[in-house]
Structure 1
Amino acid sequence: MTASVTSPDGTVIGFETLGDGPPLVLVHGTGADHTRWAAVQDRLARRYRLHLVDRRGRGLSRAEAPAYDLRREGEDIAAVAEAAGGDVYLVAHSYGALCALEAVRHTTAVRRLVAYEPPRPAPGGAVVGPDARSRMRTAENPEEILEIFLREALRLPEEAIEAMRATPVWPARVAAAPTIPRELDVVERMVFDERLAGIAVPVRLFAGTESPAYLRSAVHAVAELVPGADVVPLRGQAHQAMDFDPDQFTEAVFAFDPA
């Protein structure tokens, strides 16, 4: 079943719902839409009522207000959490985790948050170099943008990209690819600061033991600022444990919210 909610700036945010139980809102990262949770959604839906969000600019949320800002994305997720009835368990991945960290400052509808590798460049560095960002902006088709992102931002080997290409969700990733450059712009400027100290809900961060160093560094930077936050390693996994080890990912989600 699909539903939608109107964010404060007038953008309509669509989401898919399934399962039964307490509300769990899932927020995808860059170069994806709600279908990125396909490998784990049935497992999660055995315990929760899932609300799988399409972030603005893709899927069920294509009609968006013109001025893009991470704060607006936070308002979007807050609106979905409130539409879900409050007392929400929020699980967010990558850029979606940045949106979720913003969202919990806009609403009291979230009771706990898992943030899986919210990105930020290593101090003095960059997620991708200016050449790669330029090639994304001049790419002839969305698939090329996506491939550059996976190869140069996430540091995925070619065999992992080919495995992703063979999945049913690849077309949705390609369709979302035009939003990648603007999100990378935000990530390259990202600074974790004292605003995170104001987060009052329990926060757990996931970090793949095989993830790029800049992502693991970013996880620990957030954990140091959010009161009471801790870090759980996803053993043997990088930035996409939900795809390559769905059992480990699901159990980690359950462990932070025991029945």
Structure 2
Amino acid sequence: MPPVRSRDGTPIASRRSGDGPPLVLVHGTASDHSRWAPVLPALEQRWSVHAVDRRGRGSSGDSGDSGDAATYAPEREFEDVTAVADALGEPVTVFGHSYGALCTLEAARLSHSIATLILYEPSFDTDGAEVYPLEVVERLETLLLAGDRDEVVATTAREVAGVPPDAVAAFRRSQPTAWRARTAAAHTIPRELRAAKTYRFDPERFRDLAVPTLLLAGSESPRAYRRATEAVDGALPGSRIVVLPGQGHTAMDTAPDLVTSEVIRFLGARS
């Protein structure tokens, strides 16, 4: 798809496949549009899927001259998702994962086109439950300054997403193209993690967001992700949680059929 210009002029790219009503996919930190590859075959049979490259990744641009942490503001990401959704010219469903789910949730307050939401474990701290300690972010920044982009990505997977070390190693071996794309965008990881740490979820801002919403949560995910999901569910008037049994924060990889079956069930009930 031709890139869409966000509010600040940044070009935001997406890859389109399939045919049917529009479904926008918004990946999380340390990913790009390719993170949806395991679930894409099932989704594109039913929807026109638009897998976004968030700013700083793939074919998308970045803010400022260098796109570094000094010029980064998460609000621009909210506007990016809004721009992609509104450019489609019809009601859309947006499926966001992790930090992408947070961007999607905030975009739903800005967009006139987002009619349905699917949010898989939005990434933000709640009272008494932090997704990751600040020390992890500082360590990632040190690794980035040292030029060790590979370890920035690996550490994020292990210590932020909770992916077992052997699964991280297997991903690195089996999907070298996707791994290289993630290391190329490693500079975006610490800035997003810092932004998520400073984000404060205010339920009152979402009381009137009457958008049907499916909240996905892994039964084995870290407690902080479950708490954040429950906080969103408590605020939205039209949401429900579906727990993915035996799964963690990345069920698109570990149980793609389970994820797609829940998406199909939810959206099928609304068609």
Q: Scaled by the length of structure 1, what TM-score is found? A: 0.95
Task: Find the aligned partners of 1:24 and 1:60 in 2 and give their Cα distance.
Answer: 19
Query: Do 1:88 and 1:112's aligned partners in 2 also have CA atoms closer than 8 Å?
Result: yes
1:162 to 156, 169, 177: 169
Q: What is the count of residue pairs matched by the alignment?
A: 258
Task: Find the aligned partners of 2:19 and 2:129 in 1 and give their Cα distance.
Answer: 44
Query: What displacement does 1:129 show?
Result: 2.7
2:201 to 171, 176, 192: 192
Query: Do 2:211 and 2:238's aligned partners in 1 also have CA atoms closer than 8 Å?
Result: no
Query: What displacement does 1:124 show?
Result: 3.7
Partner of 2:43: 44
Matched, 1:183 2:183: no
Task: Find the aligned partners of 1:52 and 1:236 in 2 and give their Cα distance.
Answer: 26
Query: What displacement does 1:40 show?
Result: 0.9
Task: Find the aligned partners of 1:60 and 1:85 in 2 and give their Cα distance.
Answer: 22
Task: Find the aligned partners of 2:141 and 2:38 in 1 and give their Cα distance.
Answer: 30
Query: Do 1:51 and 1:84's aligned partners in 2 also have CA atoms closer than 8 Å?
Result: no
Runs of 5+ consecutive residues of structure 2 not aligned to the other structure: none
Within 5 Å, which residues of 2 pair with 1:1-12? 2-12=1-11
Amino acid paired to 1:195: R
- 1:52 partner SS: strand
- 1:89 partner SS: strand
Q: Scaled by the length of structure 2, what TM-score is found? A: 0.91
Task: Find the aligned partners of 1:22 and 1:70 in 2 and give their Cα distance.
Answer: 28
Question: Among the aligned pairs, what percent are the same residue?
Answer: 45
Task: Find the aligned partners of 1:224 and 1:100 in 2 and give their Cα distance.
Answer: 17
Distance 1:231 1:7, change over 3 A: same
Task: Find the aligned partners of 2:246 and 2:110 in 1 and give their Cα distance.
Answer: 35
Query: What displacement does 1:68 show?
Result: 2.0
Runs of 5+ consecutive residues of structure 1 not aligned to the other structure: none
Task: Find the aligned partners of 2:83 and 2:4 in 1 and give their Cα distance.
Answer: 7
Task: Find the aligned partners of 2:240 and 2:33 in 1 and give their Cα distance.
Answer: 26
Deviations 1:101-124 (A, max 9, x none): 111111110110000000122424
Deviations 1:46-74 (A, max 9, x none): 00001110001111113434532222111
Task: Find the aligned partners of 2:246 and 2:132 in 1 and give their Cα distance.
Answer: 24
Task: Find the aligned partners of 1:203 and 1:77 in 2 and give their Cα distance.
Answer: 16
